[in-house]
Structure 1
């Protein structure tokens, strides 16, 4: 009977496994040894793809930030400024509805950021980018008050915390808030 070889793990395999472990267990699961056990391989595979655990952590944060940016860009392709504002706010608030794994990852990374400076910096960068985008869209709609962007963003982040229970209602709710804010102009 021939020996069957397992396929080699890729860098992406390790990152996905890390995000899953972060969501299920927390940041303590993001070491080389616990991840190798979880995946059923050796630490050597981990170190083939990453110089060390801090580099791995940064790669996870970079992946999350890149996905957040891609989602933000996709949401802003609507035809009008008002539609782009609505789509962007709804995308932030209702990502649980569209991608449960991404939603869980965002919640887990935000929790990780409470105790980890690198995670906090990544969350801050994503928050700033999203706030800038919301503010630019509000400004294009005639509302220049940066506080309105913060209010929309805080509501969207709060709706993320509602997750599965109310995910199907998040887009409508944040859409109503956008409509209310736009009525102030």
Structure 2
């Protein structure tokens, strides 16, 4: 009797395992061998989908960046103030089931990895621009407020539950809007 065949792993399986490993253990867990052990697979399966570990790291960072970008401006058709609030909340309190929730681990990785640092810088610049544009649409032209909102939203990810973060950043946005 032959053993039942395990389903073949997809690139998405490897990327999801990488995000989990990064969050749990750090960037040292992103090698082909530790990931293969984690998935009960062979390194050959890893190399079937990714040319090498740097290509895998790039795909992992691209996945995170795409999630972070798609989370911006979730209320695209609403009033500018509501869009600003929703955008800040999406940064401060990402859905825990999305790659964006790995942001604290991505930022820690960026402290020691040039590719990760570049991905974080690009994402931060995009967020800063988006928040700045929404603030301007609300009649607030001070570019420092966009940086303050972004810094607060990023920092809140380390402070507790998504719901508490969502409420806190929403209150900060309301306070900023009251300055108009």
Structure 2 gap ranges (5+): none
Q: Provide the secondary structure at the position in 2 that maps to 1:137.
A: helix
Give the 5 Å matches for 1:7-156. Answer: 7-73=7-73, 75-95=74-94, 98-99=95-96, 102=99, 104-156=101-153
Moved segments of 4+, more than 6 Å: none
1:177 to 157, 172, 175: 172
Q: Provide the secondary structure at the position in 1 that maps to 2:159.
A: helix
Distance 1:48 1:102 in 2: 23
Distance 2:99 2:35 in 1: 20
Taking structure 1 as the reference length, what is the TM-score of the superposition?
0.92
Larger helix share, 1 or 2: 1
Structure 1 gap ranges (5+): none
The residue that corresponds to 1:4 in the other structure is 4
Taking structure 2 as the reference length, what is the TM-score of the superposition?
0.95
What is the CA distance between 1:104 and its match in structure 2?
4.5
Tell me, yes or no, if the aligned pair for 2:64 and 2:100 is still in contact at 8 Å. Answer: no
Distance 1:44 1:135 in 2: 46
Q: Provide the secondary structure at the position in 2 that maps to 1:69.
A: helix
The residue that corresponds to 1:168 in the other structure is 163
Alpha-carbon RMSD across the aligned residues, in angstroms, is 1.4
Distance 1:136 1:119 in 2: 26
The count of corresponding residues between Structure 1 and Structure 2 is: 180
Tell me, yes or no, if the aligned pair for 2:22 and 2:105 is still in contact at 8 Å. Answer: yes
What is the CA distance between 1:179 and its match in structure 2?
1.2
Distance 1:30 1:176 in 2: 38
